[in-house]
Structure 1
Amino acid sequence: MKNETNTERTCPKCGCAYHGRPALSRTDNETLICPDCGTREALEALGISSEETEKIVSIIHRNRAE
């Protein structure tokens, strides 16, 4: 399981490479997607606008870097 988080994957939704744990897509409950797309899907389900969603994803990235 430890090696799972170090494996580079490509998100089938956005095409970006990522490391770490994947998220389970809410659209089919089967597809593994990158954490960013998982966050976007969750926020979309809550009715958050795409503009606000991108701000939130940006903040998450900024805080990860610290």
Structure 2
Amino acid sequence: MKDNITRMAVCPLCGRIYHGAPALSREDNETLICPDCGTRQALQSIGVEPSEQEQIIETIHRHTQE
């Protein structure tokens, strides 16, 4: 039987509380970070500007609301 336990964590990069699966930081490949910071790091690694990163994250949030 699977328990429906939601784990909460604080992202060490942005300080926000998040739930669900964390992302692995691309900075050190050890630190667990929130999904948004993980997305930002991935987009930054391919040269996406910060303003466009925020637009992409907003779009993700709009389409994945629980």
* TM-score (norm. length: structure 2): 0.90
**CA displacement 1:12-61 (0-9 Å, x = unmatched):** 00000000000000000000000000000000000000010000000000
Aligned-residue identity in percent: 56
Q: 5+ residue gaps in structure 2?
A: none
For this pair of structures, how many residues does the alignment match? 64
Asked if 1:59 corresponds to 2:45, the answer is no
Q: Partner of 1:59: helix, strand, or coil?
A: helix
Q: Distance in 2 between matches of 1:41 and 1:6?
A: 25
Structure (1 or 2) with the larger CA radius of gyration: 2
Q: RMSD of aligned C-alpha atoms?
A: 1.7
Q: Distance in 2 between matches of 1:55 and 1:31?
A: 25
Q: 5+ residue gaps in structure 1?
A: none
* TM-score (norm. length: structure 1): 0.90
Q: Distance in 2 between matches of 1:14 and 1:34?
A: 8
Asked if 1:49 corresponds to 2:49, the answer is yes
Equivalent position of 2:24 in the other structure: 24
